[in-house]
Chain A
């Protein structure tokens, strides 16, 4: 079956620090990979995606590269801001009869001034 494992939180960083949130996956078939973000009290927003090996998804200064050899899709940002405080979810969509997004458990990020 499909599963996503992401690093446990919470993660607390100072403003302008470097961020990495690790994400690894197991999947049947060849999945697409996603990062979603949930700001406090809000819904899920798509942050970035990658659909094939070695693709890099990027948005709002965040990046993640689809690494098929290590089955990973780690999220990075070079300099976080207070406004990046949120819960980040790694997810995969394999199609292949699965027809659903499989989510990791989420990582809560708090950025302090």
Chain B
């Protein structure tokens, strides 16, 4: 079983559309994350939830909204998609927020906005 799974893996959509990426982890972890990887491969945190509570909310457009219905799920909804939103979005999870934790990543969702 995949530890951190996200769907869809590939998504091509038109500007202005609204789309969601879903993420689930079966590791029993308390903390989940969304990272964005740009075209130069640079990885940057977007959001983090710990026990369903938002603990990191980096400077991203408010068109991006995370939702955590329970500890095992963290979804990302994007409104009014723009060309610049094209990127790879990674979901991740860790047991907790302490320094000894390891963060495990999903396979990524390749979003292309046309």
Contacts and interface: CB of A to CB of B under 8 A. Distances in A.
Interface of A: 29-32, 34, 36, 38, 42-46, 49, 51, 87, 89, 93-96, 99-101, 103, 105-106, 108
Nearest to A52: B100
Contacts of B97: 95, 99
Nearest to B109: A43
B83 interface: no
A101 B42 contact: no
B99 to A, nearest CB: 3
A95 B103 CA distance: 12
Contacts of A49: 102
Contacts of B92: 44, 101
Contacts of A42: 107-108
Given A29-B99, A31-B99, A93-B101, A100 B48 contact: yes
For the side of the interface on B, what is the size category?
Answer: 20 to 34
A16 B94 CA distance: 35
A43 B33 contact: no
A30 to B, nearest CB: 6
A43 B106 contact: yes
Contacts of A99: 31, 48, 50, 55-56, 97
Given A99-B48, A100-B48, A32 B100 contact: yes
Nearest to A9: B41
Contacts of B90: 43-44
B114 interface: no
A34 B102 contact: yes
A51 B100 contact: yes
Given A44-B90, A44-B108, A45-B105, A96 B40 contact: no
A105 B100 contact: no
B98 interface: yes
A30 B99 CA distance: 8
A43 B104 CA distance: 10
Most chain A CB inside 10 Å of its own CB: which residue of B44, B48, B56, B97 = B97
Most chain A CB inside 10 Å of its own CB: which residue of B43, B101, B104, B108 = B43
Contacts of A32: 99-102
